[in-house]
Amino acid sequence: LSPLPDAHQIRTHRRPRRSSLRCLLSSPAVSAACLLFGLAGFLAAAVSLSRAPAEAPRGCCPDSSHPLSVSVAWDRRPGDAAGGATDLPAGLATGSRGRHKVMAFVGIFTGFGSVGRRRALRRTWLPSDRQGLLRLEEATGLAFRFVIGKSNDKSKMAALEREVEEYDDFVLLDLEEEYSKLPYKTLAFFKAAYALFDSDFYVKADDDIYLRPDRLSLLLAKERTHTQTYIGCMKKGPVFTDPKLKWYEHSPSYLDQNTSFMHMGLFMLYQLMWWQA
């Protein structure tokens, strides 16, 4: 019978301890201390966030505060003519924003009659939205833009401006878009690409290809440690001047009958990759 009083005695001794702890926690002094401790933690977190660097952490998508499409105007002296073509939309120019760093810049040559081709590319391997392009650039190190000149046809320029506003994936060159001026467009493209992008490779492609960005990225990554790398077709041979032939030269864009400037047979650029399917 003795265990019962002992158990009762233990219970009677524990109750005052719980009561004392409850009284201690409910005292004004402890409540004030807890409040001060919470406020101190909140202030420390606020100060830490205010001193955090403004730059985005590594691994995030590239900065999307700038428009992707740019119009490139060459230096002219006052009074120089614009070449008879309508000026590029002024609202598309971004001005000086520094050279964007990527592994490779891919310029996709296109024209005013290639709306369907651009639509096909955007429905297959090329993202049709701004964020998709930025994610692709982050994943592969490749920046993609359509490259086009300008026209003296105001309706064509208006349609191009609407397309740029919708997709924001162009580099607009300040020269007339015409097949016979393709050599000058190519030179203008490389000049603009170098001015806009700090790249290990500058890639020229056409709008009639199906490209695998993942495979292109792997190929370039393997060649990244090599300088003066050129990959692509360097045609050299007789120049066709007979208008009855399919690939004849429309203008005297050659130095002799065996070297064609039109087909990029005169020069190679440092660390240039010209990739075409």
- The token pair that represents 157 in the structure block: 């320029």
Q: Look up residue 181 and give its DSSP letter.
A: G
- The token pair that represents 70 in the structure block: 């740019």
- The token pair that represents 189 in the structure block: 């493209």
- The token pair that represents 201 in the structure block: 């490779």
- Cβ neighbours around 215 below 10 Å, total: 10
Q: By residue range, what is the domain housing residue 225?
A: 70-74+99-236+266-270
Q: At what angle do helices 130-140 and 213-223 cross, to 10 degrees?
A: 40
What are the tens digits of pLDDT across the range 1-22?
A: 445 444 344 344 444 455 565 6
Nearest to 68 by CA among 163, 151, 175, 174: 163
- In this structure, is residue 200 part of a structural domain? yes
- In this structure, is residue 93 part of a structural domain? no
Task: Give just the sign of the alpha carbon dihedral 82, 83, 86, 90.
Answer: negative
The predicted pLDDT at position 105 comes to 96
Greater model confidence, 164 or 84: 164
pTM exceeds 0.75 for this model: no
User: Is the pLDDT assigned to residue 253 strictly greater than 60?
Assistant: no
- The token pair that represents 112 in the structure block: 């005013």
**φ, ψ dihedrals at 137, nearest 5°:** -65, -40
User: Is the pLDDT assigned to residue 25 strictly greater than 80?
Assistant: no
CA–CA dist 277, 271 (Å, integer) = 20
Task: Give just the sign of the alpha carbon dihedral 128, 125, 111, 114.
Answer: negative
* Contact yes or no for 111/208 (Cβ under 8 A): no
* Contact yes or no for 237/165 (Cβ under 8 A): no
Instruction: Give the pLDDT band of residue 59 (cuts 50, 70, 90).
Output: very low
- In this structure, is residue 119 part of a structural domain? yes
- In this structure, is residue 202 part of a structural domain? yes
- Rounded to an integer, the average pLDDT of 79-104 is 58
Nearest to 214 by CA among 104, 71, 92, 49: 104
Structural domains in the chain (count): 1
SS3 content of the chain, % helix, strand, coil (to 5): 40, 15, 45
- In this structure, is residue 252 part of a structural domain? no
The predicted pLDDT at position 272 comes to 40
Residue with tokens 């066709």: 240
Cross-strand pairs, 9:
none
- The token pair that represents 166 in the structure block: 């919708």
CA–CA dist 244, 248 (Å, integer) = 8
CA geometry: angle at 93 spanning 91 and 97, to 5°? Answer: 135
- In this structure, is residue 90 part of a structural domain? no
Greater model confidence, 188 or 39: 188
What are the tens digits of pLDDT across the range 88-97?
A: 554 444 444 5
* Contact yes or no for 200/269 (Cβ under 8 A): no
- In this structure, is residue 186 part of a structural domain? yes
